Structure 1
Amino acid sequence: MSKFNFTKAAIEALPIPEKGWIYYYDLKVQGLGLGVGATGKKSFILYRKINGRPERITLGRYPDLAIEQARGKASELNADIAEGKSPADRLRAAKREMTLGDLFQEYMERRAAFNRRPDKPKATYRLYLSDWNNRKLSTIRHEEVDRLHKKIGRSNGQVTANIVLKLLHVIFNKAINEWRIWKGENPAHGIVKFPEQSRDRFLQSDELPRFFQAVAKEENETIRDYVLMSLLTGARRSNVLSMRWKDINFDRAEWRIEETKNGTPQTVALSPEALEILQSRKPSDSAVFVFPGSGMAGHLMEPKKGWKRILERAGIDNLRIHDLRRTLGSWQAKTGASLAIIGKSLNHKNQNTTAIYARLDLDPVRDSVNKATSAMLTAAGLKDSADVAKLKKI
């Protein structure tokens, strides 16, 4: 019986037999063997006496099954044997075990109603996790995830690496704690994310006149109104895109969002300028979406080209649509709003202020939004009185 310490170099240097199989055994884990066939195939096995009878249990093909994974499987089976349990039971359970691909599919199906942008997790999974698609959940180790996180950070950027880590952490957490379809551990738990610099870009006073002029000149009315509504409400991009007429209450000047990124509903206070835009768009027929689109979703999906036109016309660089949300919050702060008021209006989920938010009604939030809107329009040269600015008639 030939024994040696299994390493990648040693295994790949093994000779191929002319016929049949030759078996080699590891010095580190009892009974762990590697069979080399005449075709060049290599498979890990566990060779042990069980109830007095020698048994050879196939663990998996090399290199699909890494050396450390094979040692882990063999150690688990050895522990079962020591306790008098049947390794066959464990192997049968492993065959029934979900793969990472199964779990991701489950995640996408269960979250379908809440995923405003399902293309994002799909793309993240396809680009960075699909190599593990057929891996059983129990074979994905913490140290592997840590190495993958660092590798992506080096090659694709630290923000991307953190996005991949978050996706993996979330789907395992859902499986373990919420759906209870997996009883193992979360291999992404405890891995420290790369530090990310918080983005603080928002429209400054000197940029507002150019920005509003550029928006007013946008020929695509849907894009123009979408951009203005994003700025005036501070709502998240996906929520504004899918804004529905049935959720608008003109009498109360409110917009009810049933499901936000935080998993909670939100009532948005609509300023007089926001209401003016909605009144001008209000259809006579039974339209569903405020900003309709020609795609399957039925609403506007990707305003990148229109946004690019507006920025080029305004001569403004390094501004994203999400920065419009930050712009409203920043102008609220400039006009004296408290952090609690800003958090309530933007639906920020912060445990330290949750209790405060719960006690706030919409009136101070509405006052703050209206005050910030008025200040922005005044800075843009569009408003010098209490009158409602006619944004579409600049």
Structure 2
Amino acid sequence: MRSHTVTFLKGAAVKIKFTKKSVNELKCTSTYGREFVRDTECRGLCVEVRSSGGKTYYLTYRDARGHQRSHKLANAADITPQQARVLCNRARAKIVMGTDIAEERAKLRAAPTVLEFFNTSYLPYIKSYKRSWETDVSVFHNHILPVIGSVFIDAVTAERVGTVMRAVQSKLSAATCNKVLIMMRYMFNLAIRWRTAGIVANPTAEHRLHKLSNHRERFLSAAETQQLIAAVNNSPNRMLRYIIPFLLLTGARKREVLDARWCDIDTARSFWRIPITKSGRERHVPLSAAAAELLQSVPRRRNCEWIFANPQTLKPYVSIFISWNTARTAAGLSDVRMHDLRHSFASFLVNAGCSLYEVQKILGHASVVMTQRYSHLSQDSLLRAASHAGAVVMTQAQA
């Protein structure tokens, strides 16, 4: 069987018609260890023949500056000459349209996997400002990593995002599914903002959040408040008798109260300074006489800066759910969430005649829109308002 033995000479490359047979028979005799031969049927297509016996298809072309360039297409053992021509023509079309295929390939090689991007870029960034960054770590490792963690970030498609969402929808609530999607959307938006190699569009864009109907109104009545206070006073967790009333008296968030420090209490001006809030800004919470009196009753411990510290560790509680759950159940209020104490505080303010603007400032909302859900009026207040309106109407009608 006759072999094609060729040597690549600068400016005078040998050309043959590529077929399976002709390419298979090519052999290298050059002392440089490799030779090139061009295809007569496809412009720019050539094959590198190595002394080891390996062969690789390339596209040779000139870039926008007139420099000779080469672009690797595929191993000759993996595709046919006709398939090599298809790849060559596609690459040439990109060049004609102005795409730098060398840069494109470099970007592909530089693209990180989703896990690499999370560890090296996303996580360090959110740690710098987000107090709840550990929640993101949990969401990622439990729901995102198992499905697309090993996928290169530029290869994550809307379909792959759909695979993640179908997996979580089968076992999680709509609200939790939304958290997963929101986190993925934010992560890919950051990748685009930071010009991460290979990614130009957000693959979560086609997916929509679930519509939630869980914005329930649950506010404690005066009687329920007394029941709850009695229950926490009987709790084995002796600090619960201070924590729960303080939540009700300030409308603060649970984590804000658990992390409260003595140095942030200004008794002279009757306010509590919260240095870092959910909105990322410092705010001052006014302390009523009842709140100030409660603080005076909290036992102080030497060398402990935390107001509601765990007596065992002298550090803030990581969680008080077990003792809270026991107390609310004993009070017959198992449907009351700890965040409902914040709702109730806002309700007390509105029913006492405070404006939404005042409630907004006390709660620390960035926008009054968020305060709207707290503008609840009790049925007694609504009845009084309706009765007042009725009296005015009847007075006018009888005049």
Identify whether the pair has TM-score above 0.5, normalized to the shorter chain. Answer: yes
Q: Which is further off, 104-113 or 307-316?
A: 104-113
Partner of 2:354: 337
Distance change >3 Å, CA 311–CA 347, structure 1 → 2: same
- Could you report, residue by residue, the CA deviation over 1:103-155 in whole angstroms, capped at 9, with x for unpaired residues? 32333323335444443222211121012122222222245435543553354
Structure 1 unaligned spans of 5+ = 1-45, 59-72, 355-367, 373-394
Distance change >3 Å, CA 74–CA 228, structure 1 → 2: farther
Q: Is the contact made by 1:244 and 1:289 (CA closer than 8 Å) also made in structure 2? A: yes
Distance change >3 Å, CA 283–CA 145, structure 1 → 2: same
Partner of 1:87: 101
Q: Is the contact made by 1:152 and 1:158 (CA closer than 8 Å) also made in structure 2? A: no
Q: Does 1:162 align with 2:197?
A: no
Q: How many residues align?
A: 297
Structure 2 unaligned spans of 5+ = 1-55, 63-69, 76-86, 379-399
Q: Does 1:281 align with 2:280?
A: no
1:22-41 aligned within 5 A: none
Q: Does 1:213 align with 2:213?
A: no
Looking at structure 1, the residues matched to 129 and 158 of structure 2 have their Cα atoms a distance apart, in angstroms, of 29
TM-superposed deviation, 1:325: 0.9
1:1-394 aligned within 5 A: 49-51=59-61, 55-57=72-74, 80-83=94-97, 85-105=99-119, 106-112=121-127, 114-130=129-145, 131-146=147-162, 148-149=164-165, 152-177=168-193, 184-189=200-205, 191-197=207-213, 198-281=215-298, 283=300, 285-293=302-310, 298-350=315-367
Distance change >3 Å, CA 49–CA 296, structure 1 → 2: farther
2:125 counterpart letter in structure 1: R
Using structure 1 for the length normalisation, give the TM-score. Answer: 0.65
Q: Which is further off, 280-289 or 342-351?
A: 280-289
Looking at structure 2, the residues matched to 323 and 267 of structure 1 have their Cα atoms a distance apart, in angstroms, of 21
% identity of equivalent residues: 26
RMSD: 3.6
Q: Which has the higher contact order (CA 8 A, sep 6+)?
A: 1
Distance change >3 Å, CA 270–CA 190, structure 1 → 2: farther
Distance change >3 Å, CA 93–CA 277, structure 1 → 2: same
2:105 counterpart letter in structure 1: L
Distance change >3 Å, CA 252–CA 109, structure 1 → 2: same
**Structure number with larger C-alpha Rg:** 2
Distance change >3 Å, CA 256–CA 79, structure 1 → 2: farther
Distance change >3 Å, CA 113–CA 250, structure 1 → 2: farther
- Could you report, residue by residue, the CA deviation over 1:366-386 in whole angstroms, capped at 9, with x for unpaired residues? xx9xxx9xxxxxxxxxxxxxx
Using structure 2 for the length normalisation, give the TM-score. Answer: 0.64
- Could you report, residue by residue, the CA deviation over 1:83-102 in whole angstroms, capped at 9, with x for unpaired residues? 46553432222222233223
Distance change >3 Å, CA 212–CA 192, structure 1 → 2: same
